[in-house]
Amino acid sequence: MRTIKSEHIATLQHNPANIRNICILAHVDHGKTTIADSLIASNGIISQRLAGKLRYMDSRPDEQMRGITMKSSAISLHYKNDNSDHLINLIDSPGHVDFSSEVSTAVRLCDGAIIVVDVVEGVCPQTHVVLRQAWLENIKPVLVLNKIDRLITELKQSPMEAHLHLQQILEQVNAVTGTLFASDVMEKSANVSIPQM
């Protein structure tokens, strides 16, 4: 496990070209906080063994007790790409609909979003909401299909069944994105005035 010195993070903060603000968005219980823990562990802040159990970003006692994220929280992480160092400001946002204002704020602050989908649960109502928010704020989403092991351990799917199931999840996400794109195109074409002859 590598450790990043805080002085190095402070140095990276002076180069805005290499800073990215990324939020993690998903329906409740799709694994946002566990993914955040894994990313934090990759920087040596917590142990890999504790990733997913510690819920590092859920710092409030009520969040730890209830096991859900209620307030967005952020952390700066180091990412090295070839010869270039980047500072990733990672925002873990709530997935429960009761805390949607936290999600809206997080999306407005970000350059990109990690959209997490539990492959057994599929695209849920809050998944639609976060995809729409990302679309409206024009941020680049990256889809993460999470909990793939559940297809085998819980649903007892064969490799072909799992492949087809994952394909359906991708089609669901693409359908939501396609709907957003179509409504955007229709709105823009409605705003174009027809030239008079």
Q: What is the pLDDT of residue 185?
A: 81
> Which tens digit of pLDDT belongs to each residue from 107-155?
888 899 999 999 999 999 889 988 988 898 899 899 999 999 999 999 9
> Which tens digit of pLDDT belongs to each residue from 34-79?
888 888 888 877 677 877 666 667 666 666 666 666 677 788 888 8
pTM above 0.95, yes or no: no
Structure tokens at 108: 């407005």
Mean pLDDT of the chain: 82
> Which tens digit of pLDDT belongs to each residue from 145-183?
999 999 999 999 999 999 999 999 999 999 999 998 888
Tell me how far CA of residue 2 lies from CA of 21, 53, 101, in angstroms.
Answer: 22, 20, 35
pLDDT higher than threshold 70 for residue 100: no
